[in-house]
């Protein structure tokens, strides 16, 4: 007898929304999570009198009430009620001695701010934003279309061009190029390698739908989605790991848990990394092995979570999100991500400019993050690890001193996470936070890992099978679940098998 219609492995963003979508549609669903709380990256933890947000810097896609194509519709369908906190600025970017610009989260306001900072570029910025909107429209249209018929050729002229090339086409001033491309760190690829379709989609998501936070942090969101799943009759097992995905004649039949028990299911939806997922199979299809061999582990992160005994105003924080770079050369910043040389760029999240409820009155909860690849940390001996970790953390503070002089004097609580921390808690090889390196070959034009698993009954949901980040993974779980439901949850699927 089959115990469940579907088993979802991993309670990260995509695993949660997949499980809730399946169970609410009537599919008997088991959610299995090796940690003791839901969320993956979307969690929080306490130190002293502070609660720290683990990973959410800005939540895109929420939009305002009634705005179509927003995440609000997804949460409404799942009967998830959350209190959102809007950021009215996209970000502040500071390069000491070069530029200091704050961009409002508004198309017209951003044009005006850039014109004030870089006079004579107003028309160029307006035309650039028109390109961002138009390219995003046709990209979404093409992703949903069955053929290229009727698609504006401009999509194919611009989609895969490096972001740097498009900025060079529209602007001469290096400062404005830096100000418009700083979101590259949200995808882990420098402007010279990042496909412009990805940058355009990112800018559109934040300018059109605004950046947000969740009151109570991303843990409140994860808990609310889990509650929706449980109210619908779903079952969850925490502190439990899946060790094997069981198959018969090449098709999924269930899973084996770390206590040795076997559980039957028609389908398995994996929110785990692709290396972990395929490593649990008795045999990996040759086409999948060949595909995985062409992919590179993506970047991880080094994060300082800090409780500061001062208000945002006293510390000089004017925006919830700030980027501080030592120079305007993203290539140097990217190159440093492969080394233990001092940090060159830091993303600063101040969660109390628009409070989410984690810091006591008169205090501030801040995270400092810089991107790093995990392999450099794995080479350290245990004896050198702690010393290197805290020495590197000092270099982040050195960068942020350019934004907030004297920040060290306000530190009350601090917790430091390296790529090895990410690997331990997320179970991701290399501590990769976006899955594989998000270069052009990982885009929707070249791969469809969600569908083409090579194993009937196996489905992939999350950053390792698509785009990374909160909005993409929340949507991925729903998308994968709906596709499964459309084809019949108690029927063996064959799409992707043998490819």
Average pLDDT, rounded, for the chain: 94
pLDDT of 219 reads 97
Tens of pLDDT, residues 111-125: 999 999 999 999 999
| 386 plus 339 within the same structural domain | yes
Residue 456: pLDDT over 90: yes
| 412 plus 342 within the same structural domain | yes
| 310 plus 424 within the same structural domain | yes
pLDDT of 146 reads 66
The four Cα atoms 193, 424, 61, 92 give a dihedral, to 10 degrees, of: -60
pLDDT mean over 79-88: 96
* CATH code: domain of residue 20: 3.50.50.60
| 68 plus 174 within the same structural domain | no
Residue 499: pLDDT over 80: no
The neighbour count for residue 154, using CB atoms within 10 Å, is 12
* CATH code: domain of residue 403: 3.90.660
3-state secondary structure of 211: coil
pLDDT mean over 44-73: 92
pLDDT of 215 reads 96
Our count of domains for the chain comes to 3
Residue 157 belongs to what H/E stretch? helix 154-158
* Planar angle of CA 61, 63, 67, nearest 5 degrees: 115
| 308 plus 247 within the same structural domain | no
Asked if 462 contacts 12 with a C-beta cutoff of 8 angstroms, the reply is yes
Can you tell me which residue has the tokens 């409780």?
Answer: 307
Residue 495: pLDDT over 50: no
Can you tell me which residue has the tokens 């004579």?
Answer: 120
pLDDT of 395 reads 98
The neighbour count for residue 45, using CB atoms within 10 Å, is 15
| 290 plus 304 within the same structural domain | no
User: What angle in degrees, to the nearest 10, is found between the helix axes of 163-170 and 122-144?
Assistant: 140
Residue 497: pLDDT over 90: no
Local confidence band at 496 (pLDDT 50, 70, 90 cut-offs)? very low
The Cα–Cα gap between 167 and 173 comes to 10
pLDDT mean over 236-240: 98
Q: What are phi and psi of 267, to 5 degrees?
A: -140, 150
| 29 plus 63 within the same structural domain | yes
| Parent domain of 114 | 104-209
| 422 plus 368 within the same structural domain | yes
Boundary (domain end) residue, out of 154, 183, 209: 209
Boundary (domain end) residue, out of 384, 402, 430: 430
The neighbour count for residue 452, using CB atoms within 10 Å, is 17
> Which whole-number Å values give the CA distances from 496 to 47, 288, 330, 397, 492, in the listed order?
46, 10, 39, 48, 12
Residue 442 in domain:
yes
Residue 499 in domain:
no
Residue 88 in domain:
no
| 149 plus 197 within the same structural domain | yes
Boundary (domain end) residue, out of 177, 209, 241: 209
* Planar angle of CA 202, 207, 213, nearest 5 degrees: 85
Residue 9: pLDDT over 80: yes
Residue 498 in domain:
no
Residue 136 in domain:
yes
pLDDT mean over 256-265: 97
Local confidence band at 211 (pLDDT 50, 70, 90 cut-offs)? very high
Residue 308 in domain:
yes
Q: Which residues are bridge partners to 265 per DSSP?
A: 4
Tens of pLDDT, residues 299-341: 999 999 999 999 999 999 999 999 999 999 999 999 999 999 9
pLDDT mean over 445-473: 92
Q: Is the four-CA dihedral 306, 312, 314, 319 of positive or negative sign?
A: positive
Local confidence band at 137 (pLDDT 50, 70, 90 cut-offs)? very high
pLDDT of 492 reads 58
| 251 plus 137 within the same structural domain | no
The neighbour count for residue 353, using CB atoms within 10 Å, is 23
| 307 plus 409 within the same structural domain | yes
Residue 334 in domain:
yes
pLDDT of 143 reads 84
Tens of pLDDT, residues 385-425: 999 999 999 999 999 999 999 999 999 999 999 999 999 99
pLDDT of 246 reads 97
Question: SS3 helix, strand, coil % of the chain, rounded to 5?
Answer: 40, 20, 40
Residue 233: pLDDT over 80: yes
The Cα–Cα gap between 311 and 378 comes to 37
pLDDT of 451 reads 83
pLDDT of 121 reads 97
Tens of pLDDT, residues 341-351: 999 999 999 99
Residue 121 in domain:
yes
Percentage of the chain with pLDDT > 90?
89
| 279 plus 171 within the same structural domain | no
Q: Which two tokens stand for residue 102?
A: 């704050």
């Amino acid at each position: 007898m089959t115990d469940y219609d579907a088993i979802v492995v991993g309670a990260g963003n995509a695993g949660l929304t997949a499980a809730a979508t399946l169970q609410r549609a009537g599919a008997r669903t088991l959610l299995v999570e090796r940690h003791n709380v839901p969320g993956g990256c979307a969690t929080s933890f306490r130190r002293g009198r502070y609660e720290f947000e683990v990973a959410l810097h800005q939540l895109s896609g929420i939009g305002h009430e009634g705005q179509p194509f927003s995440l609000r519709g997804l949460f409404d369908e799942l009967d998830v009620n959350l209190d959102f906190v809007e950021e009215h600025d996209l970000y502040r970017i500071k390069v000491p001695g070069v530029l200091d610009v704050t961009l409002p989260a508004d198309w017209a306001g951003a044009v005006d701010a850039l014109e004030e900072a870089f006079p004579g570029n107003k028309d160029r910025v307006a035309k650039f934003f028109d390109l961002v909107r138009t390219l995003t429209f046709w990209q979404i249209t093409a992703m949903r279309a069955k053929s290229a018929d009727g698609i504006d050729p401009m999509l194919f002229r611009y989609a895969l061009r490096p972001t740097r090339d498009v900025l060079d086409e529209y602007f001469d001033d290096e400062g404005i190029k830096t100000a418009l491309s700083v979101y590259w760190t949200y995808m882990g690829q420098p402007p010279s390698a990042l496909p412009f379709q990805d940058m355009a989609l990112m800018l559109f998501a934040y300018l059109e739908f605004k950046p947000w936070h969740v009151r109570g942090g991303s843990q409140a969101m994860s808990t609310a989605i889990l509650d929706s799943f449980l109210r619908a009759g779903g079952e969850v097992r925490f502190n439990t790991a899946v060790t094997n995905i069981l198959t018969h004649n090449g098709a999924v039949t269930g899973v084996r848990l770390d206590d040795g028990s076997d559980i039957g299911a028609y389908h398995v939806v994996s929110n785990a990394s692709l290396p972990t997922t395929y490593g649990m199979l008795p045999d990996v299809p040759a086409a999948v092995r060949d595909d995985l061999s062409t992919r590179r582990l993506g970047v991880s992160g080094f994060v300082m979570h800090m409780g500061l005994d001062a208000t945002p105003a006293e510390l000089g924080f004017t925006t919830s999100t700030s980027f501080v770079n030592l120079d305007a050369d993203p290539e140097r910043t990217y190159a440093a991500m492969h080394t233990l040389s001092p940090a060159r760029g830091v993303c600063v999240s101040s969660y109390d400019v628009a409070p989410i409820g984690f810091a006591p009155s008169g205090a501030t909860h801040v995270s400092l993050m810089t991107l790093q690849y995990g392999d450099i940390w794995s080479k350290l001996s245990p004896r050198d690890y702690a010393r290197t970790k805290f020495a590197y953390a000092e270099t982040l503070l050195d960068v942020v001193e350019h934004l907030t002089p004297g920040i060290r004097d306000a530190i009350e609580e601090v917790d430091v996470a390296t790529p090895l921390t990410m690997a331990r808690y997320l179970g991701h090889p290399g501590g990769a936070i976006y899955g594989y390196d998000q270069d052009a070959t990982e885009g929707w034009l070249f791969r469809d890992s969600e569908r083409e698993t090579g194993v009937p009954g196996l489905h992939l949901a999350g950053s390792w099978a698509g785009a990374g980040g909160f909005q993409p993974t929340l949507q991925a779980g729903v998308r994968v679940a709906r596709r499964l439901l459309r084809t019949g949850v108690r029927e063996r699927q064959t799409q992707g098998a043998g490819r």
